[in-house]
Structure 1
Amino acid sequence: MMKRTTFHRALALGLALLLVIFSLAGCARRGAVSLRIVSAYSGKGVANATLTFTGSSGSETLSSDATGTVSGQVEADRTQMGVEATGYQKAFMQVTDLTKLPTTVQLTPLFLGVGTVISGGQPIAGASVTVWNTTTTTGPDGTFTFEGLAEGAYAGRVTKQGFADGTFDLVIGKNAKAVKVTLQEGQLLPLSSLATLPAYELTASYHRTLGGEDKSFDGRVVKNGSDILVMSGDPVNPTASLMVRGGTGYVFDNGAYTASGETAAAAAHVLQESCEGLLGLPATFSPRLFTIEKQPPVQLLGQTCDVWSMSGRFMFEGEAVTATATVTVGATGALANVPVKIVLNARSQEFFNFVYDAVVEVVSVDQVQAAARFPAQ
């Protein structure tokens, strides 16, 4: 009896050991990964870097967050780690033990985009400089630097309280030159950006003639949060329309909106920014060159608004342009200092034929009404 009991115990133990062995064979051991990807140039975290861990059983990836931090788990048999991010040199290292990975991995920028912001020959410190989806601030010497951009040409914008916005083209690549951005005095009117409103609907009509080339727009722009609707013609059945909803661009075609990707979204943003820019344009006119007179107030959007008439001249591509504008500005509440209507007329006095006539007016700031403008999907 004793022998039989011993035999049964030994058999049970053997079966248990076999189960453990088969279990381990079917479930590879995993290890924790925790480190940070930083720039070798600035020490800042590199967002959206991809870490690829490779081993005998294949490969798997992890990504860095907005601060450059990476955390997760991978199989412990990985023998190589590769790190890559847009605008940076790739990095590789051998992995002998996941617990002994470095706490930080440095990536070297492939290229740097540099420039200086000045006004009146003096550097402008603290100016906000935006290129692509990145914003930085100029230092005491007016300089700025961008890293982590792929090779190519980018449109940039400089903003600074008391100055007109400046625009520039930044080339990223081998032998690219530093740019110099000159800001002009501005802020004749203390206008707030229309973009600060959570929702609006505006009508816009403008026509520009430059060197015999005509460009025009007659329609409306509706904003609801990050969604945009740009229409021309009948709002119910537009002759043309672009829509951005949830980050996706749509085009109105054959009576319906069809997804058309980044191109449609970019075009809608350009038209939206053009109309918002027209409303905010008087804030950039130099006080040395424009006169301003306050007119009787008017009622718009259910409140009393201030009205200003302006006349003077500004420089466009090196030539003097005379301009007159009537600007209607909200006086209280959420619309305080927000431009709600502008009538602008501009003419050149020099060699090229430049004509610009525009009327832009905000007709609603009701978020429910703005949301109802977007077609059901």
Structure 2
Amino acid sequence: MMKRTIFHRAEAHLGLNQRARGLALGLALLLVIFSLAGCARRGAVSLRIVSAYSGKGVANATLTFTGSSGSETLSSNATGTVSGQVQTDRTQIGVEAIGYQKVFIQVADLTKSPATVQLTPLFLGAGMVTSGGQLIAGASVTVWNTTTTTGPDGAFTFEGLAEGTYAGRVTKQGFADATFDLVVGKNAKAVNVTLQEGQLLPLSSLAKLPAYELTASYHRTLGGEDKSFDGRVIKNGSDILVMSGDPVNPTASLMVRKGTGYVFESGTYVAKGETAAAAAHVLQESCEGLLGLPATFSPRLFTIEKQPPAQLLGQTCDVWSMTGRFLFEGEAVTATATVTVGTTGALANVPMKIILNARSQSFFDFVYDAVVEVVSVDQAQAAARFPAQ
């Protein structure tokens, strides 16, 4: 009897354990199902936040997705793009960014989310950049770590700024930097920034070098009269040698030695005095002046652009191209110029080569084409070019 009772108790206990294990297994299965169901309720989100004013992407915008299960957020990157996954029941979307009006969107489901959301700026910070009464295009304007460029009308605009006063800076090749305060807010007025003109391209004069040799080729037409030169100029201290044609047996040559002017005649140099010396100096100064001409260009009348560097006289030189207008004998002419500038040692900021083309139909059909290049700055080589005394 006792054995039967023990057997029944053991049998009952075993049944209870089996039921408990079954219950635990069922609960675990439910948890897995709920977990899988939760994963299935997440959906992909991909859209872009842009300014309704400029169409540019709005960075660091916050998107809040709200639904019956709660809310979660995503942020836009530097281009205004938002991507990620959120619970599919969170179909109310709030979009906000500093300096813009907040937007609310209600969608039937996340797959119906718009590809683009526009935000309207609360305020615009605007201004104008001028110099000497002229509008300055292409100036870089920086406010609050954001940089923009002035348009053809010299105007600039900033958006996405909270109400307040911000420090700004304007930079432009050929002008001194200028600082200003930009007031952003209701009824704020546009700021006027005036740049002080400097040099479009600061250059050192070739004349400061003790010696050089340059080649020059230029042709000028003015009022039907042609003037041209194709040759080289050699300087050694105060001595000057100007030659055209073959350097060994020039077709024409002028020399200045110890202040005395000489002319090459019948294979030898003949002293001719001040007239020959003056003519040699005119040609030398014309070539030096052509090389330094970009230093006289007005930043208001010329645009400048840096080109790939070039190798010249054993060093890497800066190359600049310029387009604009300048005065020649009191008349405005259009010009394009490419100048190569030394970067190191005695040649730092010295113009080493220029290609110049200038035109004006109104100024007696003016045409001016020139190429001037420094080919040596070696003093011993320059001295060897002069005839023996």
TM-score by length of 1: 0.51
Check whether the contact 1:307–1:327 (CA below 8 A) recurs between aligned residues: yes
Do the aligned partners of 1:205 and 1:360 also contact (CA within 8 Å) in 2? yes
1:323 has 2:335 as partner: yes
Partner residue of 1:299?
311
Contact 1:309–1:324 (Cα < 8 Å) also in 2: yes
Residues 186 and 285 in structure 1, CA contact (< 8 A), matched pair in contact too: no
User: Matches of 2:228 and 2:364 in 1, distance apart?
Assistant: 18
Matches of 1:242 and 1:286, distance apart in 2: 35
Whether 1:283 and 2:295 are equivalent positions in the alignment is: yes
CA contact (8 A) 1:186 1:284 kept: no
Task: Name the structure 2 match of 1:366.
Answer: 378
- Identical pairs, percent: 91
Amino acid at match of 1:311: T
Work out whether 1:344 is the aligned partner of 2:329: no
Partner Cα distance (1:303, 1:197) in 2:
17
Q: Partners in 1 of 2:363 and 2:336 — Cα distance?
A: 20
Corresponding residue of 1:314: 326
Deviation beyond 6 Å, 4+ runs, structure 1: none
For 2:348 and 2:230, the matched residues in 1 are separated by 27
The secondary structure found in structure 2 opposite 1:235 is coil
Q: Check 1:327–1:262 CA distance in 2 against 1; reply closer, same or farther (3 A cut).
A: same
SS in structure 1 at match of 2:284: helix
Deviations 1:190-239 (A, max 9, x none): 10000000000000000000011110000000000000000000000000
Deviation at 1:187, TM superposition (A): 2.1
Report the AA paired with residue 353 of structure 1. Answer: D
**Larger radius of gyration, structure 1 or 2?**
2
CA distance in 1, matches of 2:292, 2:246: 26
Task: Give the Cα separation in 2 of the matches to 1:277 and 1:351.
Answer: 21
Question: For residues 315 and 186 of structure 1, what CA distance do their matches in structure 2 show?
Answer: 17
How far the C-alpha of 1:318 sits from its partner, in A, is: 4.5
Q: Distance in 2 between matches of 1:186 and 1:212?
A: 36
| Partners of 1:186 and 1:278 in 2: CA distance | 20
Residue 340 of structure 1 deviates from its aligned partner by: 0.3
Equivalent residues in 2 for 1:125-204 (5 A)?
187-204=199-216
3-state SS, counterpart of residue 332 of structure 2 = strand
Deviation at 1:371, TM superposition (A): 0.2
Partner of 2:247: 235
Corresponding residue for residue 282 of structure 2 = 270
Is it true that 1:214 corresponds to 2:226 in the alignment? yes
Q: Secondary structure of 1:191's match?
A: coil
Q: Deviations over 1:75-114 (max 9, x none)?
A: xxxxxxxxxxxxxxxxxxxxxxxxxxxxxxxxxxxxxxxx
1:223 is aligned to 2:241: no
Structure 1: which 5+ residue stretches go unaligned? 1-119, 121-161, 164-184
Determine helix, strand or coil for the equivalent of 2:201. coil
Gaps of 5+ in 2: 1-131, 133-173, 176-196
The residue identity in structure 1 corresponding to 2:267 is: G
- When residues 261 and 292 of structure 1 are mapped into structure 2, their CA distance, relative to the original with a 3 A threshold, is same
- CA offset digits 1:104-137 (Å, max 9, x no partner): xxxxxxxxxxxxxxxx8xxxxxxxxxxxxxxxxx
CA deviations over 1:35-94 (Å, ceiling 9, x no partner): xxxxxxxxxxxxxxxxxxxxxxxxxxxxxxxxxxxxxxxxxxxxxxxxxxxxxxxxxxxx
For 2:236 and 2:355, how far apart are their aligned partners in 1? Answer: 25
Separation of aligned partners in 2, 1:343 and 1:303: 19
Q: Closer, same or farther in 2 for the Cα pair 1:311/1:267, shift >3 Å?
A: same
1:347 counterpart letter in structure 2: R
Distance, in Å, in 1 between the alignment partners of 2:220 and 2:267 is 29
**Residue of structure 1 in register with 2:217 after alignment:** 205
SS of 1:288's equivalent in the other structure is coil
Q: What's the offset of the Cα at 1:314?
A: 1.6
Q: Please list the CA deviations of residues 331-374 of structure 1 after superposition, one character each: whole Å capped at 9, or x if unmatched.
A: 01100000000000000042511000000000000000000000
How many Å separate the matches in 1 of 2:375 and 2:275?
A: 28
Compute the RMSD of aligned alpha carbons. 2.2
Deviation by residue 1:306-329 (Cα, 9 ceiling, x = unmatched): 000000112334533110000000
Contact 1:313 1:321 in 2 (8 A): yes
Q: Contact 1:319–1:350 (CA<8 Å) still a contact in 2?
A: no
CA positional deviation for 1:304: 0.6
Question: Could you say what secondary structure the match of 2:288 adopts?
Answer: helix
Q: Label 1:320 to 1:349 Cα distance change in 2 as closer, same or farther (>3 A).
A: farther
